Structure 1
Amino acid sequence: MPRKNRVWYPGAVYHIMCRGNHRHDIFRDEEDRLFYLTTLKEVKKELPYILHSYCLMTNHVHLEIESGDINIGQVMKKINMFYAVYFNKKYNFIGHLFQDRYRAELIETTSHLLQISKYIHLNPVRANIEPSPDLYRWSSYKVYVGEHQDELTTTEKILGCFSPPRVKNYRAYVEEVLKFIEDKPKGDEVDGNSN
């Protein structure tokens, strides 16, 4: 039975999640994460898209991504293929790196766009890796709160949903839940309903 086609239209926004096969690690060191970010940049040049938020965990990755005129399937196929070739060659790995095909949740409202950005940026906190999202190096949160600049993340759409001072209000929106997040065992097995 053929797979059901994903809903796509130009400008569609998605919460994408790619998990390692059998929940195995897809990032083993800093070089792997840097290569993945480089892959995102290189694919973006060839197949333009907008990356609103991201977080690289150990065994999965979250992307909040807006397609342009190119189907999101083509974009994700190229990202996953490039990274899998790199990973398999580096670690002499044979077989599928990613579990099934990526998960794609269509985002159609502003409130959903904001909720997913918050969810993505809080992933390391919920996984008990860091007590605050601004301490985690491998997400776009530092770009949002002005602690880091990159050419990958586009913050205008999400920050534009907040009144001035936008950065301060976005930070308050994300971090308001920190006091309610209970301590959990270390690791990045955080799935939530969106994975």
Structure 2
Amino acid sequence: MPRKPRVFVVGGAYHVYCRAGRGEPPFAEDATAALFVETLERVKIEHGLTILAWCLMPDHYHLVVRSGELPLWRSMRLVQGRFSKALNRRDRGFGPFWQGRCKARIIEDRKHLMQAIAYVHLNPVAGGLTDDPAHHQWSGHRQVIGRARKGLVDVDETLLVFGKRRESARRGYLAVLGQGREEGWLGAVPGGLPWWRHSRGGDEELRPDPTRPAMDWLGVAVRPAPPKADARGVARAVARELGVGVRALGGRHRGAELGRARELVMLVGVERCGLKVNDLARVIGRVPGSASRIYG
């Protein structure tokens, strides 16, 4: 039976998680955890994601993320696919790494968003790994409380969920963490969490009116109206941004950088600018069928 398509809203805030499927705790190894974080960071930059919270547990991950202009499922499929390939290359392994595609739910009010951020950063406590989330290396908690300068979390965006001033917002964040330790949802599986039970369902992907700025769930514009561009213009912009040659994009050469550039041309061209696959295929030197597979 085919799986239902999932609803994704441009600029929406989501709780996302997925488990490893090899019957082992791969993220207990620092090198594997670091590889996942590196992969996630690259896709975050490429797809314009905003990460509000994240945590790696020994056999799964949790994110609270605000999507960019591309459907979130594309971003997460890219994260999981790139990570699996990189891990198989490193370990000379083969086959799937994950149990399946990630699970995701949109978060539709501020209270639930605060709870979701707290839930993710308290996961190591709920899982018995530590009594203090600041002692868990693979999460965004230390960034949010100001003990780490660099990392995946967009700290200002996270703090804005809890208040308008930095220190009072941090106090609000810590207060919600304190409440989370006492409330029943702390140790719940995702399906039992308040924001999963009350999240909207649906059987089609929502597409915003391309002539208007998209709005997030707070009613804030998250992007301008799509620009007017042709296939060659998109290719030039991507080549300039990633530091590759436009001619190389349309040539026969292969490689990780060119592969990412061609994928980005297809994604931006189709999803952002509404261009035809055939036109984009010509500028990256591929037949339409091959270009469609790149697009996914």
Q: Same fold (TM over 0.5)?
A: yes
Query: Comparing both structures, which one devotes a greater share of its residues to helix?
Result: 2
Report which stretch shifted further, 25-34 or 12-21.
Answer: 25-34
Q: Cα deviations across residues 66-87 of structure 1 (Å, max 9, x unaligned)?
A: 1111110110111001111122
Contact 1:55–1:139 under 8 Å retained in 2: yes
Higher-Rg structure is 2
Question: Which amino acid in 1 is paired with 2:178?
Answer: E
| Partner residue in 2 for 1:174 | 177
SS of the equivalent of 1:161 reads helix
Question: Which amino acid in 1 is paired with 2:126?
Answer: R
Give 5+ residue unaligned stretches, structure 2: 197-296
Contact 1:52–1:66 under 8 Å retained in 2: yes
Q: CA deviation at 1:19?
A: 0.3
Q: CA deviation at 1:27?
A: 1.8
Q: CA deviation at 1:177?
A: 4.2
The yes-or-no answer on 1:154 pairing with 2:150 is no
How far, CA to CA, are the matches of 1:172 and 1:12 in structure 2?
25
The TM-score with structure 2 as length reference comes to 0.59
Contact 1:113–1:158 under 8 Å retained in 2: no
**CA RMSD between the two structures:** 2.2
Question: Which amino acid in 2 is paired with 1:170?
Answer: Y
SS of the equivalent of 1:21 reads coil
| Partner residue in 1 for 2:266 | none
Q: CA deviation at 1:15?
A: 0.6
Question: Which amino acid in 2 is paired with 1:129?
Answer: L
| Partner residue in 2 for 1:25 | 25
How far, CA to CA, are the matches of 1:128 and 1:73 in structure 2?
30
SS of the equivalent of 2:158 reads helix
2:189 aligns with one of 169, 187, 191: 191
SS of the equivalent of 2:66 reads strand
How far, CA to CA, are the matches of 2:188 and 2:92 in structure 1?
28
- Pair 1:50–1:88, CA change in 2 (3 A): same
Query: Comparing both structures, which one devotes a greater share of its residues to strand?
Result: 1
- Pair 1:64–1:23, CA change in 2 (3 A): farther
Give 5+ residue unaligned stretches, structure 1: 182-188
How far, CA to CA, are the matches of 2:26 and 2:34 in structure 1?
12
How far, CA to CA, are the matches of 1:161 and 1:50 in structure 2?
13
Identity %: 27
| Partner residue in 2 for 1:184 | none
Q: CA deviation at 1:190?
A: 7.3
Question: Which amino acid in 2 is paired with 1:115?
Answer: Q
Larger relative contact order (CA 8 Å, sep ≥ 6): 1
Contact 1:134–1:142 under 8 Å retained in 2: yes
Report which stretch shifted further, 154-163 or 101-110.
Answer: 154-163
Matches within 5 A, 1:94-173: 94-163=94-163, 164=165, 165-173=168-176
Q: Cα deviations across residues 83-117 of structure 1 (Å, max 9, x unaligned)?
A: 11122222333221000211111111111111110
The yes-or-no answer on 1:76 pairing with 2:79 is no
- Pair 1:76–1:162, CA change in 2 (3 A): closer
Spell out structure 1 runs of 4+ moving beyond 6 A.
Answer: none
Q: Cα deviations across residues 115-171 of structure 1 (Å, max 9, x unaligned)?
A: 110110110001111001111111000011110022521133332233452212311
The TM-score with structure 1 as length reference comes to 0.87
